[in-house]
Chains A and B, each alone.
Chain A
């Protein structure tokens, strides 16, 4: 009787295991391909409209480039000029820091104040809420033009100041008053942040206030030790977004400095006296008036890195002062 040579069981198990692994790999690859197929529109969009432009602008930042001619590699010259040779760079940086330092905290305080008032309103809340929110619906350019009219030295605001025998500033014609004028415009448009704070305030559990009251806490202590910690995630969000917007502050300043200048010659960008020359307006001037696209790309990369750094610092600092319900970090 012929004996049937049986394959050793160990080898058979190995083959089956290898086959299972192959199937798993095939299956995993298939799942990956399916996922990739579903993700592909986003990947294509992200690569084309984010990765490529960013890589291109990084490359251009090391070149002399005017859009029309081929870029010429200049190494770090653009960055060197920015920090050591450009007389307009630092005034633009100073103006930008000014608007961030004053506008962001004021917007947060004003928004919290307005939201707090709204939480006390018994009747007609939706009307007041709409009134506060309405300015954010106005396009930025239209809002800026409206404030140019309001703060015109012969305009309504100065007429009221004159009636009250108060000094009448020249607002957007006086470099000392241009940025305070923009602050007022910024506070007028605080509705979006205010709505966030209103939602956050209404979300604070009432039992916390009751407990604080039983402990003898007064209104200020309740606000300081209950309200503020409970809305701190929204404050954090408002500050981060405000700082980023501050670095990108452009439209309002550009419209105000160019208002009434149909020829584009009598009011340089930043008028008057560079008091409204913000980082992005300077970037615009270099890119689209001087066609120094290489230098403008370098300016934009420095801004990107500074925004990243500031955001990281804020996120790091948030561990100390932002409190999440349920202890989420």
Chain B
């Protein structure tokens, strides 16, 4: 009996070893077809994590490919996150095109070949990458020269400010440096009789809204996540410590508890995606947020009189003014698809066709991702939105350094930042060194 059990276990282990990570053709040669030749009708499946209105808008644009290739139909399946896409790729039943909201995962997709290298397809079709896209997109769509995904619109972070509140405080133009931001926030912050915050000039708490991340603030210092050798550099690049010290002194000048209570009373993170949003309610005078907020402000019928500007930079890095954190939806052809050439036609359409991107951008209110679409988009006439298009085009705008651990480094730093602002990190330098060690160990895990 014992022998049988051992035999069974050995067999199972062998089977596990043999089947692990198996399947799929790793070759990255570009399959090609003549799209204008006679073709049998074909339905391509696209997976994304879109839902609700955004799902409908995206489906409409995906299906518009039929006008270009009448033989092609698209079936759009929502509610599929990156884990679901990876499982399907691993199981050998991937969708013909995958849409991901997590650019941080690009490195893994490229490194493992989970998404096919699109360079051969781009070369076959003579697509000039440098002419097609602003340089910022390459910071989150390729890894070690493998272009395994392409952008389908993008996001950019900028400063939103309440014009009426700034005018009331005698501030004539938006802050361009972090010192100016702190000074303006001090003037704009109003308190209730009990000392609690009535109107926040600016909410500096990390983890509050989407623009309050170490990543977004770090861009204002050009802080580097990793050094030349690929090792984490949060402790060795002094920009991070400077940024955290600025942020902590800002928090301390108002009071961590007061800010926490104010954030919580607004509804915390939940208020970000509702009409209770602090900025839309006139309870926050300035904030850093993505371009999508313009659509939310309109949809929520907020009466806030606002304008947008590039995010402020560190006092000694005014050369960065105009740039910011960018990065958005990515699309690619999963490993093991049955109709790679046809998938490429769809990926190319959704990532390079100005008409499709403009329509998508109008519907989703995200920044068009190609130079042509940026130039032709009607959104450029919207001064609120134009700011974000300019930020995206700025040569110094970028995404964080990609690594195969996805967003784990951001999560670790985010948690560290929360402890730091709460006064639970007694020695910043030592804390950052420990954080570097932790991220390095995560990288070693593969």
CA distance A81 to B212 in the complex (A): 32
Partner of B12, one of A51, A72, A286: A51
Q: Is A213 an interface residue (CB 8 A)?
A: no
In the complex, the answer to whether B21 meets A272 with C-beta atoms within 8 Å is no
Instruction: Pick from B12, B213, B268, B408 the residue with the most CB of A within 10 Å.
Output: B268
Q: How many residues of B contact A (CB 8 A)?
A: 64
- B residues within 8 A CB of A153? 261, 264-265, 268
Instruction: Pick from A70, A175, A290 the residue with the most CB of B within 10 Å.
Output: A290
In the complex, the answer to whether A265 meets B260 with C-beta atoms within 8 Å is no
Residues of chain A whose beta carbon lies under 8 Å from any beta carbon of chain B? 51-52, 55-56, 58-60, 63-72, 78, 81, 85-88, 148, 152-154, 170, 172-175, 259-274, 285-286, 288-292, 294-295
In the complex, the answer to whether A68 meets B90 with C-beta atoms within 8 Å is yes
In the complex, the answer to whether B21 meets A68 with C-beta atoms within 8 Å is yes
CA distance A286 to B213 in the complex (A): 21
Q: List 19 A-B contacts (CB under 8 A).
A: A52-B15, A56-B16, A67-B90, A68-B86, A81-B441, A87-B434, A88-B412, A148-B270, A153-B268, A260-B267, A262-B272, A264-B101, A265-B414, A266-B269, A268-B414, A269-B411, A270-B415, A289-B411, A292-B446
In the complex, the answer to whether A265 meets B16 with C-beta atoms within 8 Å is no
CA distance A56 to B13 in the complex (A): 6
Closest residue on chain A to residue B443 by CB atoms: A290
In the complex, the answer to whether B414 meets A266 with C-beta atoms within 8 Å is yes
Give the shortest distance, in Å, between A212 (CB) and chain B (any CB).
51
Partner of A154, one of B8, B267, B418: B267
In the complex, the answer to whether B112 meets A268 with C-beta atoms within 8 Å is no
CA distance A274 to B22 in the complex (A): 36
Give the shortest distance, in Å, between B327 (CB) and chain A (any CB).
10
CA distance A175 to B20 in the complex (A): 40
Give the shortest distance, in Å, between A169 (CB) and chain B (any CB).
10
In the complex, the answer to whether A68 meets B112 with C-beta atoms within 8 Å is yes
Using known A-B contacts A70-B21, A173-B268, determine if residue A55 contacts B414 with beta carbons closer than 8 Å: no
- B residues within 8 A CB of A58? 13
CA distance A260 to B411 in the complex (A): 16
Instruction: Pick from A60, A271, A273 the residue with the most CB of B within 10 Å.
Output: A273
Q: Is B176 an interface residue (CB 8 A)?
A: no
- A residues within 8 A CB of B271? 260
- A residues within 8 A CB of B87? 67
Residues of chain B whose beta carbon lies under 8 Å from any beta carbon of chain A? 8-9, 12-13, 15-17, 19-22, 83, 86-87, 89-90, 101-102, 108, 112-114, 207-210, 212-213, 215, 260-261, 263-273, 335, 404-408, 410-412, 414-415, 418-419, 422, 424, 434, 437-438, 441-442, 445-446
In the complex, the answer to whether B269 meets A259 with C-beta atoms within 8 Å is yes
- B residues within 8 A CB of A259? 268-270
CA distance A294 to B16 in the complex (A): 13
- A residues within 8 A CB of B268? 152-153, 172-173, 259-260
Partner of A290, one of B12, B21, B208, B445: B445
In the complex, the answer to whether A271 meets B441 with C-beta atoms within 8 Å is no
In the complex, the answer to whether A290 meets B406 with C-beta atoms within 8 Å is yes
In the complex, the answer to whether A55 meets B438 with C-beta atoms within 8 Å is no
Interface of A is mostly: loop
- B residues within 8 A CB of A273? 415, 418-419, 422, 424
The 3 closest A-B pairs by CB, nearest first: A260-B269, A55-B12, A153-B264
Give the shortest distance, in Å, between A21 (CB) and chain B (any CB).
23
- A residues within 8 A CB of B414? 265-268, 271
Instruction: Pick from A55, A72, A269, A295 the residue with the most CB of B within 10 Å.
Output: A55
Closest residue on chain A to residue B407 by CB atoms: A289
Using known A-B contacts A262-B272, A266-B207, determine if residue A66 contacts B404 with beta carbons closer than 8 Å: yes
CA distance A148 to B264 in the complex (A): 11
Known A52-B16, A56-B12, A266-B210; further 15 A-B contacts with Cβ < 8 A:
A55-B9, A55-B13, A59-B13, A67-B21, A67-B86, A68-B114, A87-B434, A148-B270, A153-B268, A260-B272, A260-B273, A263-B210, A266-B209, A266-B269, A269-B411
Closest residue on chain A to residue B206 by CB atoms: A266
In the complex, the answer to whether B442 meets A152 with C-beta atoms within 8 Å is no
In the complex, the answer to whether B264 meets A152 with C-beta atoms within 8 Å is yes
CA distance A70 to B20 in the complex (A): 6
In the complex, the answer to whether A56 meets B83 with C-beta atoms within 8 Å is no
CA distance A81 to B83 in the complex (A): 24
Give the shortest distance, in Å, between B178 (CB) and chain A (any CB).
19
In the complex, the answer to whether B208 meets A266 with C-beta atoms within 8 Å is yes
In the complex, the answer to whether B12 meets A170 with C-beta atoms within 8 Å is no
Closest residue on chain A to residue B81 by CB atoms: A288
Closest residue on chain B to residue A71 by CB atoms: B20
- B residues within 8 A CB of A292? 405, 442, 445-446
CA distance A55 to B415 in the complex (A): 35
CA distance A174 to B112 in the complex (A): 40
- A residues within 8 A CB of B213? 265-266
Give the shortest distance, in Å, between A289 (CB) and chain B (any CB).
6
- B residues within 8 A CB of A56? 12-13, 15-16, 19-20
- A residues within 8 A CB of B407? 264-265, 289
In the complex, the answer to whether A87 meets B12 with C-beta atoms within 8 Å is no
Give the shortest distance, in Å, between B2 (CB) and chain A (any CB).
16
Give the shortest distance, in Å, between A165 (CB) and chain B (any CB).
14
- A residues within 8 A CB of B83? 288
Closest residue on chain B to residue A270 by CB atoms: B415
Closest residue on chain A to residue B17 by CB atoms: A59
Give the shortest distance, in Å, between A92 (CB) and chain B (any CB).
12
CA distance A135 to B314 in the complex (A): 51
In the complex, the answer to whether A260 meets B264 with C-beta atoms within 8 Å is no
- B residues within 8 A CB of A265? 210, 213, 215, 407, 410, 414
In the complex, the answer to whether A52 meets B21 with C-beta atoms within 8 Å is no
Partner of A66, one of B207, B270, B442, B446: B446
- B residues within 8 A CB of A291? 86, 108, 404-406
